[in-house]
């Protein structure tokens, strides 16, 4: 797998999807030494079920552990430090990781309790937990979701879990963006496995999950976060830590040279019950057998339009889903609505493309 590759897999069998994606990425070849100390860094920000949109689904951890053990990698630790307001041990139980780690006999490092050292992170002093610093290969497993301060959070910001609590507080006083970018110059980010199953609309702690049923793989954390911006209807420039990280040579935001590798096609799925905030956006949609990745992209785009004050009751409903294939209509999203008077190509289209299309065509 090259630095500019993006692997995408859709579905609901998350553990098997994870293993399939890791095989395609040839993760074992990337690690390339069974003696290496491998760290898995999920997002356990708070004691919250992954279905709420904040924390990494346990199936991604299980799939990764099975893959690594089957390829004879045994020196594995799962590590995380929850945010300052929560205990990591509570998050471990709320997500079911305690049972998973016991089943595979894998140690967990609570980084809230770890020792640390200070490093020079390209001109900024940053404290990093010792167990994270000791890893030879870091598999970052963030959730793609919104964030109330930074708009999005994924690969780069997930690494805030590998610093001590005192440093997390200091990051907030420094405005988050600059320290997050500099932190990523000293922490490893060898492979990024993104939980894009049902990340939150706009809040790190969850509560308004947007179902997309997708898992993504990257080697470049900056490319990952640029792709996340597109998925949620933003540009990388809207999230300063991403462009700062690019300036620090951590990776590239250049999606025009990214190579998207689709391991399967999205399929129509029954939508999970929605929270009231998501329902408010969904009332602009007429859905018939829509795939989650398509529907979720549209929800994110509608949220961007809502922020701009664009939404109002007189707008025609947006058609989406495989049930509209070959049918006509006013305005539709995705290639299934190709026969509509106005239709946006893509399968699924990104929220950024939907946002631009609707700004121009939805009156």
Report yes or no: 14 and 141 within 8 Å, Cβ to Cβ: no
Minimal distance in Å, beta carbon 151 to ligand SF4?
24
If the CB atoms of residues 6 and 293 are measured against ligand SF4, the closer one turns out to be 293
233 neighbors 300 (Cβ within 8 angstroms): yes
* Rounded least distance, CB 340 to ligand SF4, Å: 12
Instruction: State the minimum distance, in angstroms, from the CB of residue 335 to ligand SF4.
Output: 5
Q: 22 or 294: whose CB is closer to ligand SF4?
A: 294
Instruction: Please state the closest distance from residue 44 (CB atom) to ligand SF4, in A.
Output: 30
Q: Cis omega before residue 348 (within 30°)?
A: yes
Tokens (6 digits) for 362: 């939805």
Q: What gap in Å lies between CA 1 and CA 353, rounded to an integer?
A: 27
DSSP 93-143: HHTTHHHHHHHHT--EEEGGG--EEEEE-SSSEEEEEHHHHH-SEEEEE-B
Q: Residue 128: how many CA atoms within 13 Å on its side-chain side?
A: 22
Shorter beta-carbon distance to ligand SF4: residue 124 or 261:
261
Helix, strand, coil shares of the chain as percentages rounded to 5?
Answer: 40, 20, 40
CA dihedral in degrees (312, 316, 321, 322; nearest 10)?
A: 180
Q: How far apart are CA 59 and CA 65, in angstroms?
A: 10
Q: Which is nearer to ligand SF4, 15 or 214 (CB)?
A: 214
Closest residue to ligand SF4, based on beta-carbon distance? 334
Which stretch of DSSP H or E encloses residue 116?
strand 116-120
At closest approach, how far in Å is the CB of 290 from ligand SF4?
Answer: 5
Pick 48 or 337: Cβ nearer ligand SF4? 337
- Are residues 310 and 356 in contact, defined by beta-carbon separation less than 8 angstroms? no
Q: Which residues would be at the binding site for ligand SF4 (CB under 6 A)? A: 266, 290-291, 293-294, 321-322, 334-336, 347-348
Residue 170 · residue 195 · CB < 8 Å: no
Give the nearest distance from C-beta 218 to ligand SF4 in angstroms: 21
40/291 with CB nearer ligand SF4: 291
Identity of the residue, 45 or 291, whose beta carbon is nearer to ligand SF4 in the bound complex: 291
- Tell me how far, at minimum, the Cβ of 141 lies from ligand SF4, in Å: 24
Which of residues 116 and 295 has its CB atom nearest to ligand SF4 in the complex?
295
In angstroms, give the least distance from the CB of 291 to ligand SF4: 3
What pairs with residue 10 in β-bridges?
A: 214
- Cβ atoms within 10 Å, residue 71: 15
């Amino acid at each position: 797998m090259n630095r500019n590759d993006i692997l995408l897999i859709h579905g609901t069998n998350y553990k098997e999807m994870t293993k399939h994606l890791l095989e395609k990425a040839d993760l074992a070849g990337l690690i390339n030494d069974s003696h290496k100390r491998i760290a898995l860094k999920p997002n356990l920000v708070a004691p919250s079920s992954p279905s709420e949109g904040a924390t990494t689904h346990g199936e991604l951890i299980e799939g990764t552990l099975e893959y690594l053990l089957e390829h004879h990698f045994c020196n594995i630790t799962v590590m995380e430090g929850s945010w300052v307001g929560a205990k990591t041990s509570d998050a471990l139980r709320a997500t079911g990781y305690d049972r998973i780690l016991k089943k595979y006999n894998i140690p967990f490092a609570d980084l809230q309790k770890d020792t640390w050292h200070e490093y020079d992170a390209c001109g900024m002093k940053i404290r990093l937990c010792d167990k994270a610093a000791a890893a030879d290969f870091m598999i970052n497993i963030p959730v793609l979701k919104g964030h109330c301060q930074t708009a999005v959070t994924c690969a780069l910001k997930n690494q805030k879990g590998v610093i001590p609590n005192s440093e997390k507080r200091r990051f907030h006083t420094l405005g988050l963006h600059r320290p997050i970018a500099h932190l990523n110059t000293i922490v490893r980010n060898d492979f990024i496995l993104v939980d894009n199953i049902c990340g939150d609309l706009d809040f790190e702690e969850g509560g308004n999950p947007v179902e997309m049923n997708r898992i993504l793989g990257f080697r470049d954390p900056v490319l990952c976060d640029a792709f996340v911006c597109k998925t949620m209807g933003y540009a990388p420039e809207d999230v300063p830590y991403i462009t700062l990280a690019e300036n620090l040579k951590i990776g590239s935001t250049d999606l025009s040279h990214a190579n998207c590798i689709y391991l399967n096609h999205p399929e129509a799925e029954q939508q999970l019950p929605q929270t009231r905030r998501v329902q408010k956006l969904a009332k602009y949609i007429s859905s018939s057998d829509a795939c989650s990745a398509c529907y979720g992209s549209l929800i994110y785009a509608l949220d961007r339009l809502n922020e701009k004050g664009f939404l109002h009751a007189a707008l025609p409903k947006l058609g989406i889903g495989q049930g509209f294939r070959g049918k006509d209509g006013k305005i539709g999203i995705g290639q299934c609505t190709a026969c509509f008077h106005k239709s946006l190509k893509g399968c699924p289209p990104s929220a950024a493309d939907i946002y631009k299309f609707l700004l121009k065509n939805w009156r």
